[in-house]
Amino acid sequence: MRLNRILLLITSVLVLVAVSVLADQNQEQKPIHAVASDQQGEGRPVGTDPLAGLPNDIPEDELASVEKEKFTFQTEVSRLMHLIINSLYKTREIFLRELISNASDALDKIRFLSLTDPEAIAANPGLEITIAADPEKKTLVITDSGIGMTRQQLKDNLGTIAKSGTSEFLAKMESGKSDITQIGQFGVGFYSVFLVADRVTVASKSNDDPDQYIWMSTAVDDFTIAKDPRGNTLKRGTQITLHLKPDAYRFLQEKNLKELVHKYSQFITFPIMVWSGQEEEVPVQEQETLLNDDLVEESIDDDINKSDKKKKTEKRMVYGWHHINVQKPIWMRDPKDITDKDHKEFFKSLTREPTDPLAWTHFKGEGEIEFRTLLYVPSVVNDVFYQNVQKDQSNHPIKLFVKRVFISDEVDLLPKWLSFLKGIVDADDMPLNVSRETLQKHRSLRIITRHLVKKALDMFTSLSENDPKAFAKFLGQYGTILKYGAIEDQPYRKKITSLLRFATSSNTEPFSSSLDDYIDRAKADQKSIYFMTGSNIAEIEQSPFIESLLARGYEILYFTDPIDESFVDKIPGYNGKQFVNIAKGDLTFGDDELEADRDLEIKFRPLTDWLVDTLHESIEKAVISQRLTTSPFAIVAPKSGLSGHAQRVLDAQGVNHKNPNMEYILESMRMQKKTLEINPNHPVIATLLDYVEEDNVTNEMINLIQLMYETTAIRSGYPLKDMTQFAGRVEGLIRKAVGVSILEEAKIKVKKAADKTEEERKADQELKKTNIVYEDENDVDHDEL
């Protein structure tokens, strides 16, 4: 068994090398006088006839007589096509990008199968994409020699849409908030053909089906499938014929087709050939042979006459297959020869995203395994990334190639926290299993992953040093993800942490200071990194917790990201200094102040004891504060408890039904009693002490202390347990100030609503019998789409 596996592995590698050589040969530019491939015109020579290389169309009489089977589109397909046909978009041209991308995927699949089964490409070894326009018939034909589709696959693939992302896509389209350039991200790219065509024919031949079939639709409600009356003209692959709408005839022009291929698909790894003509000096004798297809008799003249005849040429349009994407794969080129524009175009071709990347890195890994890599940072994080992280799923952002042969985009080459990156890895050697889904978890992959993570972090560092504005934009999109990476990936924790940037009390601009910057500005003998959390900077600046530290000249980090407290819990320190949350636990600054606090504790003990008795439902103890300078009170959580900001974040997330035990722990932390800190230098506190010592505390004063505690809770970031009670205390205070009795009620003067009439009841009963959700003149019945 082991010997068989080794033999299979050796066979795979040998086939891989052979196919790689074939792929490199396919990338070479073909001469203009090439012979058209079989599926493009039965091997006819090219020349001055602009229609010579066009595919053979199905005669209308044959099409009418062929036995067809009619099917109805899936509801989502009908809705999608209705929106496409009846909506106006500026980017109709993306239909060609979608079809070329699909063709490239089909070619990738057949090339991968050929690694272990060389017979898979035997019927049609040439792997390429061809595009031909017929100005007379107003058709555009896109052909690939990929894996093809069986009759059943034509029905399944072109009559239904995979559920993933479709509902979201349709909702955005119907609301008018979606740019159709994003269509490829939802797996519905084929239907973009109906942006430009009112009738589409798809012919396809698969190795798994003895016959070639055609799929036809006019984008109404149904489609038909029939055996192709032309027979097996493709041998293998798919040919899509678009009957263009009158307002789309510009896509028949050679210039436009070449520009679109170059714009969207120049970095496709397979040759893209466009049938077009160019003016050439053609010998008259040779040209006549091409035109008349007659045998030219060679007269017996002297050498001078022969020489004169050879010089007789004239300019003629000569037609043939022109290779458009002549550049070799961008990752195989010298990085110094690749421009920023090249990178931006390749990124858009690779990801189908409309915006430029924020940064990229291009490198070659050497050692135990050699590989080339391109990594890109998208300008905006995709919502799917967070959805997959939440579901503990991977994003599979990297396409894996081996010697330019696409292998898989379902291999986890990056840790989850870096899977927002996009790119390719092209290895010179890689052990493969028979199926792409079970690619071996080989040591080579672990080596590649280590290289990728290191180079990604180097790319972020370079961006921070060379373009701070772009780096701030990067952190705005990916800062939270980096903190998640620091929590999850201990080996890279310090490097990731050094990349983070925060607003501080010295510079409130977002992402302005690193932890190294903070430590450089630290005070003498400062052993802590002080931070405060809040929903925003303005909220933190109004907090009583920062008063004493700012008065002492300490700098405070402002944490406004919901993940920040979890981040510092997992990373308690940086470069020898500990993180300290100034809203939690004890806060001390020196032995001299501790001695002074002991004296104050004794002096204010009557007041602190009275406060504990009065507020016993909310606080565990009351102590002298070192945090406060101008505020009378502050409410502090235990060191292991929840700060006000953390509690609000948890409350916003709701109940964790998936983990009841964790929810129980969090609820226990929410219910923890807090510590009330008092400012002994505040006049209100000093006066309260006098009242308590004189035993002169009234019920009204107790009520005011409750109110003061609740306002302090709000300032400290905690939600109130009883908002109604708080509002009542405030109202009571206002009533007393304006001289209104607490017992006096508001006078109610409102008109009671009339009962429903009999006519209204009957109308309601009639509406129950219909499917109308609501009545509006602009209402759309989506079931009809």
Enter the tokens of residue 526. 């400062």
CA torsion angle 34 40 44 46 (round to 10): -40
User: Which of the listed residues 463, 479, 510 is the one where a domain comes to its end?
Assistant: 463
Distance of alpha carbon 637 from alpha carbon 587, whole angstroms: 12
Least confident of 35-39, 107-111, 475-479: 35-39
Distance of alpha carbon 688 from alpha carbon 694, whole angstroms: 10
* 6: enclosing H helix or E strand: helix 2-27
In a domain? residue 625: yes
User: Which of the listed residues 275, 300, 320 is the one where a domain comes to its end?
Assistant: 275
In a domain? residue 280: no
pLDDT, tens digit, for every residue of 320-367? 898 988 767 889 888 999 999 999 988 988 887 889 999 999 999 887
* Domain shared by 143 and 216, yes or no: yes
Residue type at 33 in one-letter notation: H
Rounded to two decimals, what is the model's pTM? 0.63
- Write down the pLDDT at residue 658: 56
Domain extent, residue 418, equals: 335-463
- Write down the pLDDT at residue 241: 95
In a domain? residue 384: yes
Q: Which residues are within 8 A (CB) of 463 and not within 5 positions of it... i.e. 6 or more apart? A: 358, 359, 377, 470, 471, 474
pLDDT over 60 (residue 578): yes
In a domain? residue 172: yes
Distance of alpha carbon 113 from alpha carbon 147, whole angstroms: 9
* Domain shared by 167 and 81, yes or no: yes
N- to C-terminal Cα distance for the chain?
Answer: 57
- Find tokens 């044959």 and name the residue: 62
Which residues line the annotated binding site for ATP? 98, 102, 144, 149, 157, 163-165, 185-190, 238, 436
| HSE (side-chain half, CA atoms, 13 Å) at 637 | 24
- Write down the pLDDT at residue 144: 95
Contact by Cβ (8 Å): 257, 131: yes
* Domain shared by 162 and 67, yes or no: yes
Distance of alpha carbon 367 from alpha carbon 278, whole angstroms: 48
- At 703, which CATH number? 1.20.120.790
Phi-psi domain of 268 (left: phi exceeds 0; alpha: psi -120 through 50; beta: other): beta
* Domain shared by 145 and 264, yes or no: yes
* Domain shared by 237 and 347, yes or no: no
Cα torsion angle, 311, 316, 318, 323, sign: positive
pLDDT over 80 (residue 688): yes
pLDDT over 80 (residue 83): no
- Write down the pLDDT at residue 13: 37
pLDDT, tens digit, for every residue of 290-321? 444 444 455 555 555 555 555 677 788 888 89
Choose between 86 and 736: higher pLDDT: 736
Share of the chain above pLDDT 90, in %: 36
- Write down the pLDDT at residue 382: 78
- Write down the pLDDT at residue 29: 35
Choose between 88 and 144: higher pLDDT: 144
* 579: enclosing H helix or E strand: strand 577-581
Q: Grade residue 665 by pLDDT with cuts at 50, 70 and 90.
A: low
**Rg of the Cα atoms in the chain:** 37
pLDDT over 60 (residue 779): no
* Domain shared by 221 and 107, yes or no: yes
In a domain? residue 8: yes
* 422: enclosing H helix or E strand: strand 422-427
Which residues line the annotated binding site? 98, 102, 144, 149, 157, 163-165, 185-190, 238, 436
Contact by Cβ (8 Å): 645, 701: no
pLDDT, tens digit, for every residue of 408-467? 777 888 998 998 999 999 888 765 443 344 454 567 888 899 999 999 999 999 999 999
CA torsion angle 471 475 478 483 (round to 10): 120
Phi-psi domain of 367 (left: phi exceeds 0; alpha: psi -120 through 50; beta: other): left
* Domain shared by 32 and 161, yes or no: yes
- Write down the pLDDT at residue 739: 86
The total of structural domains in the chain comes to: 3
In a domain? residue 494: no
Distance of alpha carbon 427 from alpha carbon 448, whole angstroms: 9
Q: Which residues are within 8 A (CB) of 25 and not within 5 positions of it... i.e. 6 or more apart? A: none
* Domain shared by 236 and 376, yes or no: no
Please state the rounded mean pLDDT for residues 616-634: 89
Enter the tokens of residue 477. 């999109």
Residue type at 45 in one-letter notation: P
Average of per-residue pLDDT values in the chain: 79
pLDDT, tens digit, for every residue of 219-248? 667 889 999 999 999 999 999 999 999 999
User: Which of the listed residues 275, 299, 320 is the one where a domain comes to its end?
Assistant: 275
- At 97, which CATH number? 3.30.565.10
* Domain shared by 265 and 340, yes or no: no
pLDDT, tens digit, for every residue of 697-726? 888 888 888 899 888 888 887 878 788 888
- Write down the pLDDT at residue 656: 54
Q: Alpha helices, DSSP H only, in 489-590?
A: 493-499, 515-520, 537-541, 547-552, 564-570
* Domain shared by 345 and 447, yes or no: yes
pLDDT, tens digit, for every residue of 521-573? 999 989 999 999 988 999 899 888 999 999 999 999 999 998 898 899 888 88
pLDDT over 60 (residue 166): no
* Domain shared by 241 and 355, yes or no: no
In a domain? residue 40: yes
- At 421, which CATH number? 3.30.230.80
Please state the rounded mean pLDDT for residues 589-605: 76
Residue 67's alpha-carbon distances to 22, 184, 234, 242, in angstroms, are 40, 34, 20, 22
Phi, psi of 451 (to 5 degrees): -60, -45
- Write down the pLDDT at residue 647: 77
Residue type at 669 in one-letter notation: M
* Domain shared by 229 and 156, yes or no: yes
In a domain? residue 305: no
